[in-house]
C-alpha cells in the first residue's frame, strides 16, 4: 500500500485517541488493584470488635487480626484477574473473525463502564462481607475478560495504521497505573471518609472510560483514520496510483519465469517453527510477569511502615511507596527502551537479567510484611522497601518492554505478526502463573 497521498493526522487527533484508548485498557484493573484498602475495609466482620491494643498485640505475636476474607483478598483478586485475562486473550484470536471490531471495542468499553458504575453505587450500599467479596470478584472477572478483548482488538486496530501508532497505546497503558495511584492519593488527601473517597475514586474511573468511549466514536470521523480503513476494505489495488500499477505490471513482465515463484506470498510457517526462534524471549517475558505478579500486590501491599507511628505517612505509605512508585518506575523503564536497547537480542545477558529478578521475591518477603508467621524481618526500615521497589518496578518495565520488542525482531518480517501474538500469549501466561504463585509466596511469610 502506498501512503504518499495519505492525509495528515491533523492536531495528532488519532494519536491522542489511541493514547486515551490505551489508557482505558489497563485503567480499570489498576483502579481495582489500588483500591485494596477500601475493599479490605468493607470485608471486616462488624460482629467482631478488636481493640487497637489487641490488634497491636496480635501483630507483635505474629498473629493476624484480619478475617479470612481480608487476608486472602489480594491473592484471590490477582487470580480472578489474570486467569480471565489469559483465557480471553486466547479467545480473542477467534472472536475477531466472527465479531466486528466496532462491537468488540465499543461493547467492551460499555461493559467496563457499567461495572464501574455498579461499583460506585455499591459503595453506598451496606452489604455483608461474604456477598461483597463474591460480588467484587465477579466484577474483577468481568473487567479483565472485557479488558482482554479490548486490548487485543485495539492492537489489531493499530496495525492498520502506520507502525508509530502502536506507541500511544503503550504510552497510555504505562500511565494507567500512575493515574490510578495518583487518583487514589487525591481521594485520600481530600480528607473525606473512606467510603466517600472510594465513591469519588470510582466515579473518576467512569469519567475516563466515558472519555475513551466518546474518543472511539469520534475516530471513524477523522480523515486520517478513514483513509487507512478504506485502504484495508478495498484492498491494495484500490490505493495504487496508475503509475504504481503500471510499474508493477512492467516489473512482473520483465522478470524471468524462474523468479515468479519467489514474488508470491511467503509460505505459511507453523507456530511451532516460529516459537523455536523466539522461545528465549517468550519464556523470558513469561518469567518476568510471573515474578512481578507473584509479589505485587499480594505481598507488597501488606508491608507496614515502621516510621509512621500512626501519622499521615501510615495512610499514604502503600498508595505512595507501593502503587505510585511502582507505576512511575515501571513507566520509566518502558520509556527507556525508546532510546536504549541493551543488551542485544542475541545476548545471553537478556535471560540472565530476567532470571536474576527472582531475587525480588525473598527481598520483599523479608521486608516488614504483616502478619507473618515463619520468616524474620531483615529489611524493617521503610527506606529498604522503597529502594527494593524502585529496582523491582524499573527492571519489570525495562525488561518486559525489551523482550516484547526483541521477540518479533528475531523472525523474518512476514512472521513478525505471529511472533508478536505468541509473545502476547506468553505474557498472559506469566500473569496467570504469577497469580497462582502469589498464594505460595504469601503463605511462606
Q: What tens digit of pLDDT does each residue of 386-398 get?
A: 999 999 999 998 9
The whole-angstrom distance between residue 257's C-alpha and the CA centroid of its chain comes to: 50
Q: Say if residue 48's pLDDT is above 90.
A: no
Element spanning 33, H or E? helix 13-34
In the chain, where the domains are located? 1-264, 271-445
**Half-sphere exposure in the Cβ direction for 247 (13 Å, CA):** 6
Q: In terms of Cα–Cα distance, which of 232, 380, 392, 233 is closest to 305?
A: 380
**Half-sphere exposure in the Cβ direction for 217 (13 Å, CA):** 10
248-255 long-range Cβ contacts below 8 angstroms, 24+ apart: none
Q: Provide mean pLDDT across the span 359-382.
A: 95
Pick from 15-24, 69-78, 225-234, 288-297 the range whose average pLDDT is largest: 288-297
pLDDT of residue 184: 78
Q: Say if residue 307's pLDDT is above 60.
A: yes
In the chain, DSSP finds a helix count (H) and a strand count (E) of 17, 0
Q: In terms of Cα–Cα distance, which of 121, 134, 15 is closest to 73?
A: 134
The answer to pTM > 0.85 is no
Specify the CATH number of the domain 271-445.
1.20.1250
pLDDT of residue 249: 42
Q: Provide mean pLDDT across the span 265-285.
A: 81
Architecture of domain 1-264: Up-down Bundle (1.20)
Evaluate whether 444 touches 375 at the Cβ level (below 8 Å): yes
Q: At what angle do helices 416-443 and 382-409 cross, to 10 degrees?
A: 150
271-445 matches 1-264 in CATH topology:
yes
Q: Say if residue 29's pLDDT is above 90.
A: no
Amino acid at each position: 500500500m502506498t501512503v504518499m497521498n495519505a492525509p495528515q493526522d491533523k492536531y495528532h487527533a488519532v494519536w491522542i485517541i489511541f493514547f486515551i484508548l490505551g489508557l482505558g485498557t489497563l485503567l480499570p484493573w489498576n483502579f481495582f488493584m489500588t483500591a485494596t484498602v477500601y475493599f479490605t475495609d468493607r470485608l471486616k466482620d462488624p460482629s467482631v470488635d478488636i481493640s487497637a491494643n489487641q490488634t497491636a498485640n496480635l501483630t507483635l505475636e505474629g498473629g493476624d487480626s484480619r478475617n479470612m476474607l481480608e487476608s486472602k483478598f489480594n491473592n484471590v483478586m490477582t487470580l480472578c484477574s489474570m486467569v480471565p485475562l489469559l483465557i480471553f486473550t486466547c479467545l480473542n484470536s477467534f472472536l475477531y473473525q466472527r465479531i466486528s471490531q466496532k462491537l468488540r471495542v465499543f461493547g467492551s468499553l460499555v461493559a467496563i463502564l457499567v461495572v464501574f458504575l455498579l461499583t460506585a453505587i455499591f459503595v453506598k450500599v451496606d452489604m455483608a462481607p461474604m456477598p461483597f467479596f463474591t460480588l467484587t470478584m465477579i466484577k474483577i472477572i468481568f473487567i479483565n475478560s472485557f479488558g482482554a478483548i479490548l486490548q487485543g482488538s485495539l492492537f489489531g486496530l493499530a496495525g492498520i495504521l502506520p507502525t508509530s501508532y502502536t506507541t500511544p497505546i503503550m504510552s497510555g497503558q504505562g500511565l494507567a497505573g500512575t493515574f490510578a495511584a495518583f487518583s487514589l492519593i487525591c481521594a485520600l488527601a481530600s480528607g473525606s471518609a473512606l467510603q466517600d473517597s472510594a465513591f469519588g475514586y470510582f466515579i473518576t474511573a467512569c469519567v475516563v472510560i466515558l472519555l475513551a468511549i466518546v474518543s472511539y466514536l469520534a475516530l471513524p470521523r477523522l480523515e486520517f483514520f478513514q483513509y487507512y480503513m478504506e485502504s484495508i476494505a478495498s484492498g491494495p489495488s484500490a490505493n495504487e496510483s496508475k503509475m504504481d500499477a503500471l510499474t508493477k505490471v512492467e516489473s512482473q513482465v520483465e522478470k524471468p519465469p524462474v523468479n515468479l515463484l519467489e514474488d508470491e506470498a511467503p509460505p505459511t510457517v507453523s507456530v511451532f517453527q516460529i516459537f523455536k526462534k523466539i522461545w528465549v524471549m517468550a519464556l523470558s517475558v513469561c518469567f518476568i510477569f510471573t515474578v512481578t505478579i507473584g509479589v505485587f500486590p499480594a505481598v507488597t501491599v501488606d508491608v507496614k511502615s515502621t516510621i509512621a507511628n500512626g501519622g499521615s505517612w501510615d495512610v499514604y505509605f502503600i498508595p505512595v511507596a507501593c502503587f505510585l512508585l511502582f507505576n512511575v518506575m515501571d513507566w520509566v523503564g518502558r520509556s527507556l527502551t525508546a532510546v536504549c536497547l541493551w543488551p542485544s537480542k542475541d545476548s545471553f545477558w537478556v535471560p540472565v537479567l530476567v532470571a536474576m529478578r527472582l531475587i525480588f521475591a525473598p527481598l520483599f518477603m523479608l521486608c516488614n510484611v504483616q502478619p507473618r508467621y515463619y520468616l524474620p524481618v531483615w529489611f524493617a526500615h521503610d527506606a529498604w522497601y522503597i529502594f527494593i521497589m524502585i529496582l523491582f518496578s524499573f527492571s519489570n518495565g525495562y525488561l518486559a518492554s525489551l523482550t516484547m520488542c526483541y521477540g518479533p525482531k528475531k523472525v523474518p518480517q512476514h512472521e513478525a505478526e505471529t511472533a508478536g501474538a505468541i509473545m502476547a500469549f506468553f505474557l498472559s501466561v506469566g500473569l496467570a502463573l504469577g497469580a497462582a504463585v502469589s498464594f505460595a509466596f504469601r503463605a511462606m511469610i
